[in-house]
Chain A
Amino acid sequence: MLAPPAFAHTPATGLGPLADGAARLVLEPADLLLSIALVLLALQQHPPAVRRVIVLLPALWCLGAVLGQALPRELLLAPLITATFVVVALLVALQIRLPPWLFTGLAAATSLGFGVVNGSLLSGHAGSLSVVLGEAVALAVFAVVLAMGLEGLRFRWRAIALRVAGSWIAASGLLMLGWQLRHPQ
């Protein structure tokens, strides 16, 4: 009859920590928006970029989250997190082609960074590793489904849809950034 432990940064689905992690992706959508922006950017680059993102994003996010849990305190970097996905989304909206090494580096650094920050927020909670795993699996599934779905679109419409989506994500991020600067943590 004991109440389950409450996680400040995790929604409680009642289905266990793995499901809580997956739900976290949707209910605290900074990671979701980064993953969308990275997949969209990958689709605008050279063909292997999509495969790289699908592998790098969940793997490095998970690694970062595990590393972040070892940090002594929470990393409260919400404006930096938001600014990061705004930049990635702006690259999509402006349809900027990056050299392959730069794109791979950007995807790796942002995935790892987001993972570290998330891991630090979850550190100290019992079952947090399961939450991390749940979110990493959800990220992987989401990235694959999104990439597959968009690959099938006709190229001209896809190019427009990607840019529009990029502008929407960047705009959401800019509003969010203003909100965070107005109401600091």
Chain B
Amino acid sequence: MVRPSALHREAVLLLGAAALATIALLPAPVLAHADTSHGGGFVAGFLHPITGLDHVVAMVAVGLWGAVLAPPALWVLPVAFPLVMAFGGLLGMLGVPIPGVEIGIAVSGLVMGLMVLFELRPPLWLAALIVASFAVFHGHAHGAELPAGSNALLFSLAFVIATGLLHLAGILLGETRRWPGGRSFVRGAGGGIALAGLFFLERALA
């Protein structure tokens, strides 16, 4: 097996970061016939979490960080996130205010991206606490946006499944660490997520 040189690793790292940052900063497509109300139903619920890029990068970062931390964090974080996110959603739907939601969402991408970039491995309880704290912001934002509609349970179920699949995407990306150059790629992805988080933070503070 050919071991990648230090230069090669750095190149992969930079390329990964640049690719993710570019994707994250691309303008979202405008869909003339999309259901912008997200009023109900499985499809609307499934699309809801994946249409906000600030949410997407953070949820992928949860999976990536879980892969960096290895089991049991690999599955503890994706179990904790939807539960606490739903609790945040409950608060949002009930109109309980949480200050700085958009800032919290942006910081979540930044912090978790940095965790992946620098391969930081805090104790499991602390990692779960960090992820859960950010999940409240994501859930609150989604909950506050959800209008009344039919098939509310199908909407909620699809919403959570989409979130879980984003975590899974992060875990699968994170598992590329086993391959040559994979570790650099994952760190690069973390850097890209951190950059995207920084961009969203600048926008939230503007």
Residues of chain A at the chain B interface (Cβ within 8 Å): 27-30, 33, 82, 90, 93, 160, 163-164, 167-168, 170-183
Task: Please give me the residue from chain B that is nearest to A181 by CB atom.
Answer: B94
Name the B residues within 8 Å of A29 (CB-CB).
153-154, 157
B90 touches A174 (CB 8 A): yes
Chain B residues 63-116 with CB under 8 Å of chain A are 75, 78-80, 82-83, 85-87, 89-95
On whether the beta carbons of A179 and B93 are closer than 8 Å, the reply is: yes
Binding site secondary structure of chain A = helix
Q: Which residues of A contact B61 (CB under 8 A)?
A: none
Binding site for A on B (CB under 8 A): 75, 78-80, 82-83, 85-87, 89-95, 143, 146, 148, 151-157, 159-161, 163-164
With A164-B79, A175-B143, A182-B148 known, 6 other A-B pairs at CB within 8 A are: A163-B75, A167-B80, A171-B86, A172-B86, A175-B146, A181-B94
Across the interface, which residues of A come within 8 angstroms of B161, CB to CB? 168
Residues of A within 8 A of B91 (CB): 178
Tell me if A179 and B156 are in contact (CB < 8 A). yes
What residue of chain B has the Cβ atom nearest to residue A93's Cβ? B79
Name the residue on A nearest B142 (C-beta).
A175
Q: Which residues of B are found within 8 Å of A93, using beta-carbon distances?
A: 79, 83
> What residue in chain A is nearest B139 (Cβ atoms)?
A175
A163 contacts across to B, CB distance below 8 A: 75, 79
Q: How far is the CA of A183 from the CA of B146 in the complex (A)?
A: 11
- Contact between A167 and B83, CB atoms less than 8 A apart: yes
Contacts of A183 in B (CB 8 A): 148, 152
On whether A178 and B93 interact (CB within 8 A), knowing A163-B75, A163-B79, the answer reads yes
In the complex, the answer to whether A164 meets B86 with C-beta atoms within 8 Å is no
28 contacts between A and B (CB under 8 A): A29-B154, A82-B153, A167-B82, A171-B86, A172-B159, A172-B160, A173-B86, A173-B156, A174-B83, A174-B86, A175-B93, A175-B143, A175-B146, A175-B159, A175-B160, A176-B153, A178-B89, A178-B90, A178-B91, A178-B93, A178-B143, A179-B93, A179-B146, A179-B148, A179-B156, A180-B152, A182-B93, A183-B148
Question: Which residue among B79, B94, B159 has the maximum number of chain A CB atoms within 10 Å of its CB?
Answer: B79
Identity of the chain A residue whose Cβ is nearest the Cβ of B168 in the assembled complex: A164
Residue on B with the closest CB to A30? B153
Residues of A within 8 A of B75 (CB): 160, 163-164
Write out the residue numbers on chain A whose beta carbons fall within 8 Å of the beta carbon of B164.
164, 168
Q: Are the C-beta atoms of B153 and A171 separated by less than 8 Å? A: no
Closest to A177 in B: B90
CA distance A135 to B72 in the complex (A): 38
Give complex CA distance A168, B156 in Å.
10
- B contact residues around A164 at 8 Å (CB): 75, 78-79, 164
Residue numbers in A under 8 Å from B85 (CB-CB):
171
Which residues of the partner chain A approach B163 to less than 8 Å between Cβ atoms? 171
Contacts of B154 in A (CB 8 A): 27, 29
When C-beta atoms are compared, the residue in chain A nearest to B148 turns out to be: A183
A93 to B81, CA, bound (A): 12
